[in-house]
């Protein structure tokens, strides 16, 4: 049996999938099928996007806002 090689996905692709998941129009299973990635991976990318979104606008995190 041939060994499958791991795909190297670009950050742009990961962001596109995470944004599609944030929209909420489709389920994670539907997105997983569409983009050919596991739904758990989409959940992880969505979490990463949520946590790092503030960096796009200058890096002010929740900790800085509460002080």
The number of angstroms, rounded, from the C-alpha of 11 to the middle of its chain's C-alpha atoms is 9
Distance (Å) of CA 50 to CA 2, 5, 8, 53: 37, 29, 22, 5
- pLDDT tens digits for the chain (67 residues)? 677 777 777 999 999 999 999 999 999 999 999 999 999 999 999 999 999 988 888 865 555 555 5
Per-residue confidence (pLDDT) for residue 58, from 0 to 100 = 81
pLDDT at res. 21? 96
pTM over 0.85: no
């Amino acid at each position: 049996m041939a060994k499958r090689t791991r795909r190297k996905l670009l950050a742009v692709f990961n962001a596109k999938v995470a944004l599609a998941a944030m929209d909420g129009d489709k389920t994670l299973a539907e997105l997983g099928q569409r983009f050919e990635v596991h739904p758990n991976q989409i959940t992880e990318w969505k979490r990463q996007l949520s946590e790092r979104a503030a960096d796009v606008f200058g890096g002010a995190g929740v900790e800085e806002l509460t002080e």
